[in-house]
Homo-oligomer: A and B are copies of this chain.
Amino acid sequence: MSKNTGLNAIEIHYLRLSLGLTVEQVAEITKASTDDVLAWETGEQQAPDLAQKKLLDIDDIIEMQVLNTTDGIEELFKKEPKRRLAFVVYPTQALYTQYNPEFLSSLPLTELYNTAAWRIKKECKLVLEVDVSLVALDAEAYKRYRADNGMSESRESRAKWAATQL
Contact B8 A115 (CB under 8 A): no
A158 neighbours in B (Cβ, 8 Å): none
Nearest B residue to A63 via CB reads B126
CA A9 to CA B136, docked complex, whole Å: 9
A126 neighbours in B (Cβ, 8 Å): 63
Q: Is A114's beta carbon under 8 Å from chain B?
A: yes
A89 neighbours in B (Cβ, 8 Å): 10
Copies, count = 2
CA A133 to CA B118, docked complex, whole Å: 26
CA A165 to CA B43, docked complex, whole Å: 15
CB distance from A75 to the nearest CB of B (A): 22
Question: What is the number of residues of chain A that contact chain B, defined by CB distance less than 8 Å?
Answer: 29
Which chain A residues in 1-43 approach chain B with CB under 8 Å?
A: 3-4, 8-11, 14-15, 17-18, 20
CB distance from A159 to the nearest CB of B (A): 16
A9 neighbours in B (Cβ, 8 Å): 136
Contact A118 B15 (CB under 8 A): yes
CA A122 to CA B11, docked complex, whole Å: 11
Contact B117 A14 (CB under 8 A): yes
A8 neighbours in B (Cβ, 8 Å): 133-136
Q: Is A94's beta carbon under 8 Å from chain B?
A: no
CB distance from A32 to the nearest CB of B (A): 21
A108 neighbours in B (Cβ, 8 Å): none
User: Can you spell out 6 A-B residue pairs with CB atoms less than 8 angstroms apart?
Assistant: A3-B165, A11-B134, A14-B20, A14-B114, A17-B17, A63-B126
Closest 10 pairs between A and B when the two form their complex, measured CB to CB: A14-B118, A17-B20, A10-B136, A10-B134, A11-B134, A18-B118, A14-B114, A10-B89, A14-B20, A14-B115
